[in-house]
Chains A and B, each alone.
Chain A
Amino acid sequence: MNSFNRRDFLKLAGAAAGVAVSGFPAIVRAGEKARVIVIGGGYGGAICAKYLKMADPGIKVTLIEKESHYVSCPMSNEVISGERELDSITFTYRGLSAHGVQIMQDEITRVDPHAKAVWGSSGNKYRYDFLVVSPGVDYKWEGYNGFSEEASREKMPHAWKAGPQTILLRDQLRAMPDGGTAVIVAPPNPFRCPPGPYERAAQFANYLKHSGKTRSKVIILDQKDKFSKQGLFMQGWKQHYGNMIEWRGASGGGKVDSIDVDEMTIIGDVEDVKGDVVNVIPPQKAGHLAQVAGLANDSGWCPVDQANFESTIHKDIYVIGDACIAGSMPKSGYAANSQGKVAATHIAARINGISAPEPSYVNTCYSVIAPGHGISVAAVYTLQGGKISGVKGAGGLSPMDASAAVRAVEEKNAHGWFRNIVDDMFG
């Protein structure tokens, strides 16, 4: 691969010959624009790379992603219920190559903000003028006593990163006998996809209902006392699944004291819950790369200038997606998409020496409760006093009293949204 670029070569050549190298870079770079490296080809990174190229095709954009394919978390709950296969949420980077983005499969293990270079596990070194980091989330394994990464691998999958974990959880659910109990441990705030655990509960129930295992239970043990789209979820659960889904808030017996992995039991403040399937979603922090690059603060997340996502810790490095602290925006795929575009516009403007426009951001999260029943939450944001804040009067939830016809259209729109956002990223 192409770690040894012309600039390295000229610098080396200059050093070897003992001549001054100052002035070289400008000559080498005449007619060639800045180089932007994007790490992480998910909802944030893929879109940022593409929109950089759309903003200015002259910018050299390299996307470095450790996996050969991207498996989407959105719609992965429908894989667990059997509504769709993993193939339908798996994407390649070919479309991005067609936009002129250079794709490198490598895992970045080191970032040097002063040398403006990153290193991959392949041994490659990549230089950048601007770096964009969108590594997603990492898990605080120590967040629940008795739990560990090891435990999540076989016995208590999190499936909070789609892929083999999604299949493992699906297969465990399929193997569960009628009358069994599936437990979901929902994490404390902030975490990736606030409605995700509750959509998952619905998709568990969807599977159980359709496979005739109607005596089974789905119990959510929550580390919080309220959750996203709560009224809409509870209404939909009841409508489609009766009392199959039971939610216990933190102060109503949901709080986890510790986890007995061998016994498949969650030890609670109030009582212990044993599950046939136990889906433990750990507390979260910014992706590992953000931690090793020193981009996170004590909260575990990355502080950025919310106008453009440049790190407030290291200049010329931008952090987008789940890893960053983005005011009122939730950690969602739509938010990561919106942030990736704001960062791309800003970087392109900087490279061209013009001022970036006032930022504008949107988020929407659709959730599918049952076939024919979709709900949504939306928001439009602007920068207010340096913080990303929702525009008053805009956004909000699907109405509680919507007709069945509207719920059905929203379910279709959830799939239409998915089709378009992945096309926006990979098409």
Chain B
Amino acid sequence: MGVNKQLKEENIYKPLPVSIVRNLPQIKDHRLFQLKIENGTTWETFSHQPGQFIEVSIFGKGEAPISISSPPTRLDTLEICVRKVGILTNALFELGKGSTFYIRGPYGRGFPIDILKGHKLLLVAGGLGLAPLRSLLLYALDKRGEFDDIILMYGTNNPDNVLFKYELLSFFDRKDIKYLYSVDKDEEGIWKQYVGVVTGLFDQTELSPDDTYAVMCGPPVMYRFVIQKLLSLGFAKDHIYVSLERMMKCGVGKCGHCAIGDKYCCTDGPVFSYPEIESIKEAI
């Protein structure tokens, strides 16, 4: 993992054309895009790791970092789940099936699969933070034998904003994954599970901190609370991993935008172990 040295001699800023195979509306302003590489090569050669991201490029609208949502175990398409928020993402939503745009990557250091293997996995996701965690989740489910228990905690602000709804529902039929879903508010009273912030889910289940690795991704406010909770439950600091978001321009450690102390979120992260960033005040 880490930086892909192969790219060293090439122009790291040159994007590669992909086309949209399917464009699946998720919730309001969120879509899942399934992509294929235009020049006929496969995603195998792209060789991404769960937790890595790409730079999406639409000429005239700029570039934006977007997590890869699909696992390297499912390579027929590459999936990204995008929220429409600004210039580039609006332009992306204008594109239909068969349309072309450009990407660069895969970038960054993903989840430490080799460390996680053989252990219990606790995935804590808030909102769109599920996008990068989903690549790890599906990876672990596809290689189910390589992991011990898998627990997913997923919180959204209300029942309308649950991403990957059908996928999450399908876990109801599985015995080999434990899922806990929460919504911050349920004004219509339709939510059958936990109502409250995602940290409340910790009181709903027994965890075994010694052999569990916790990984999390969500909105900025979530990290501190979840980490506090984990530490109070007895999780060792090096059993906690966070995937962080920063404003990024280049994705390859040059433009400086994503710096966090002496680290660059785009190349040293976006996944960090808690000890790596614990002493950096601006990190979380």
A binds B: no
Q: Give me the interface of B with A, judged by CB distance under 8 Å.
A: none
Q: Give me the interface of A with B, judged by CB distance under 8 Å.
A: none
